[in-house]
Amino acid sequence: MALTIAPMTATIGAEIGGVDLAAKLSEATIAEIRAALLQWKVVFFRDQHDLDRDSHVAFGRRFGDLEVHPLTPKDQQEPEVFVLPSGGKSRAPELWHSDVTWRPEPSMGSILRIVEMPPLGGDTLWADMGAAYDLLDDSFKAVVDDLVAEHDFTYNFGRHLPPDEQAKMREKHPTAEHPVIRTHPDTGRKTIYVNGGFTTGIKGMPIDEARPILRKLQRTAQIPDVQCRFRWQPGSVAFWDNRSTQHCVSNDFLPARRVMERVTVVGDKPF
């Protein structure tokens, strides 16, 4: 297959054409997709109407092992698929974040397909956290370059539970520690690696000192210069690099229903 790659902005986002993700793709095609992902941080595919759960999982496995999210129902037939429904008063995750940073070895990438579309709205935005790092002034870089952040599973998924239930969750998923500024293992790029969904503090720093630092870093994802925005259509698929991006959804479609399904490729320990 001859791929076409159409960049969406100067640094992040590209649409890839000329490929059927449900087909058995050659190693050369997979290598082209991987190279485009590293260059553009998030890539998009249109008209993938034949991509079902089985082929979604199969495509994801071409890039590595797939994780099973702890919130996936135990009896779900395809445990690697994480279902993300929203509608009515149920909002999609609208914090800028990178997926599963609460794991000791967080995700390399996520592959998301739309299953049920609202009539209008529901776009997803991505931010290039390498470009965001470049916008920091040198004096602030000197402050944050060697800091380590704490990432807590319970902060997002257990915040409304009583303390004893939160303690049980932390026993199963202990707080992880990752560099505030990580180095991308494939490109060598420095990227901001904190997010509003899971980052709770900075190791060895009082929380009242850590909060303004984290807030300033997290807000960099909101700078339009580092963003791209994707409008979903039936058959659309997004594949992003969790090591170099953050993402956020627009909940402007509510109370209509929007259902997404995601597979997540296992990564390695940030450094």
Structural domain boundaries in the chain: 4-87+102-117+229-244+254-265
Residue for token pair 């095609």: 29
| Neighbouring residues of 25: CB distance < 8 A, sequence distance ≥ 6 | 1, 19, 33, 59, 62
Out of 97, 182, 184, 243, pick the active-site residue.
97
Which pLDDT score is estimated for 197? 86
Q: Would you call 49 a catalytic residue per the annotation? A: no
Out of 113, 189, 247, 258, pick the active-site residue.
247
Out of 56, 103, 189, 262, pick the active-site residue.
262
For residue 71, give the amino acid letter.
Answer: L
Give domain 4-87+102-117+229-244+254-265's CATH architecture. Answer: 4-Layer Sandwich (3.60)
Which pLDDT score is estimated for 1? 60
194 within 8 A of 145, measured Cβ to Cβ:
no
Which pLDDT score is estimated for 173? 83
Q: Would you call 186 a catalytic residue per the annotation? A: no
Tens digit of pLDDT at every position of the chain (271 positions): 689 999 999 999 999 999 999 999 999 999 999 999 999 999 999 999 999 999 999 999 999 999 999 889 988 999 999 999 999 988 888 889 999 999 999 999 999 999 999 999 999 999 999 999 999 999 999 999 999 999 998 877 767 777 777 777 787 888 999 999 999 999 999 999 999 889 999 999 999 999 999 999 999 999 999 999 999 999 999 999 999 999 999 999 999 999 999 999 999 999 9
Cα dist from 152 to 71, 100, 178, 201, 264, whole Å: 15, 10, 11, 9, 19
Which pLDDT score is estimated for 158? 67
Q: Would you call 97 a catalytic residue per the annotation? A: yes
Q: Would you call 247 a catalytic residue per the annotation? A: yes
| Neighbouring residues of 22: CB distance < 8 A, sequence distance ≥ 6 | 48, 50, 51, 52, 55, 59
Query: Would you state the structure tokens that stand for residue 80, as one six-digit string?
Result: 């690697």
Instruction: Please confirm whether the linkage preceding 255 is cis (ω < 30° from 0).
Output: yes
Out of 56, 99, 103, 152, pick the active-site residue.
99
Q: How far apart are CA 127 and CA 121, in angstroms?
A: 19
